[in-house]
Amino acid sequence: MFRATLGKSLGFVGYAVQYGCIAHCAFEYIGEVVLCSGPSMEPTIDNHDIVFSERMSRHLCKIQKVIGLEHDKVCTSGPLALFKTHTYVPKGHAWLEGDNLRNSNDSRSYGPIPYALIRGRVCLKLWPLHSIGTLSESPTRRIITTQSDSNSD
């Protein structure tokens, strides 16, 4: 009786570990469902929207839709600044900005982001149901698309 219970328990633990490993790999390399918080991406993504963030482009070094990639010249001042300031994005980094320029904590606040810290790309809005579908470019401004073959981790 004890052996049968122990055998079933170990079998269950084995299946749990296997499925846990599969889930981990799926979330790490394919994508994940994310509950958004904060106003940084409004009106494209609102507070409490649920989105799917894919992770495959990060692993394939296909980072494209950002404000600036390495060696690009970007504006570092806010939307209301009287004098515009610029900088160059260093090698191995990206410049990221939210769609809501007046209420966004982004690269204008903390500088360029190393490629290794970019976890994924939001590509699909899942909730609310009336706005379900793929995400297009920001409605508030044109996002600069750069193509660089020298992107690497």
How do residues 71-114 score in pLDDT, each as one tens digit? Answer: 899 988 777 778 888 999 999 899 988 888 888 888 888 889 99
Is this structure's pTM higher than 0.85? Answer: no
Domains of the chain: 2-134 (2.10.109.10)
pLDDT at residue number 146 = 35
- Amino acid, single-letter form, for residue 85: T
The pLDDT tens digits of the residues spanning 21-59 come to 999 988 888 888 889 888 888 788 888 898 988 887 766
Task: Indicate the helix (H) or strand (E) that contains 122.
Answer: strand 121-127
Distance CA 36, CA 135 (A): 14
Contact 41, 99 (CB under 8 A): yes
Among 81, 83, 112, 101, which residue's Cα sits nearest to residue 141? 101
Whole-angstrom CA distances from 9 to 6, 14, 109 are 5, 9, 52
Among 120, 84, 77, 123, which residue's Cα sits nearest to residue 101? 77
Which long-range contacts link 91-97 to residues 24+ away (Cβ below 8 Å)? Answer: 92/152, 94/63, 94/66, 94/68, 94/69, 94/70, 94/118, 95/66, 95/67, 95/68, 95/69, 96/66, 96/67, 97/67
